Amino acid sequence: GDSVTQMEGPVTLSEEAFLTINCTYTATGYPSLFWYVQYPGEGLQLLLKATKADDKGSNKGFEATYRKETTSFHLEKGSVQVSDSAVYFCALRATGGGNKLTFGTGTQLKVEL
């Protein structure tokens, strides 16, 4: 079945450092890919998405490119801030849609001054 694999955390960075959180997936066809963010004490929020190969999703300085050849959707940000501290989830929606999202296990990011 479909699955999403994320790098384990926590990831601890200094402010203004470069961020990469790796995400790879297993799915048939051409799934849609997403990154969600969960700030402390809150529910998940959609951060960015890509619905076809080579699409780049971007939002709030974060970017991720849908790489079909490597089945990856790595999250990057050039300069993180303390306010980016959160848990980040990679997710996919299978080809054909439906109501089901398959989530990765989440990666906690801590940004320190």
Partner 1 sequence: NAGVTQTPKFQVLKTGQSMTLQCAQDMNHEYMSWYRQDPGMGLRLIHYSVGAGITDQGEVPNGYNVSRSTTEDFPLRLLSAAPSQTSVYFCASRSSGGSSYEQYFGPGTRLTVT
DSSP string across 55-105: -EEEETTEEEE-BTTTTB--EEESS--GGG-EEEEEEEE-TT--S--EE--
According to DSSP, residue 32 is labeled: E
Smallest separation, CB 70 to partner 1 (Å): 21
Q: Which is nearer to partner 1, 5 or 71 (CB)?
A: 5
Q: Which is nearer to partner 1, 42 or 69 (CB)?
A: 42
111, 13 Cβ separation under 8 angstroms: yes
Interface stretch with partner 1, choices 13-21, 22-30, 72-80, 89-97 (CB under 8 A) = 89-97
Among 49, 62, 73, 84, binds partner 1 (CB under 8 A): 49
For residues 61, 64, 36, 20, the Cα torsion angle rounded to the nearest 10 degrees is -80
Q: Which is nearer to partner 1, 17 or 101 (CB)?
A: 101
Decide: residue 70, CB within 10 A, 0-12 exposed, 13-18 middle, 19+ buried: exposed
Among 13, 101, 108, 110, binds partner 1 (CB under 8 A): 101
Smallest separation, CB 72 to partner 1 (Å): 17
The residues binding partner 1 (CB under 8 A) are 4, 32, 34, 41-46, 49, 89, 91, 93, 97-106
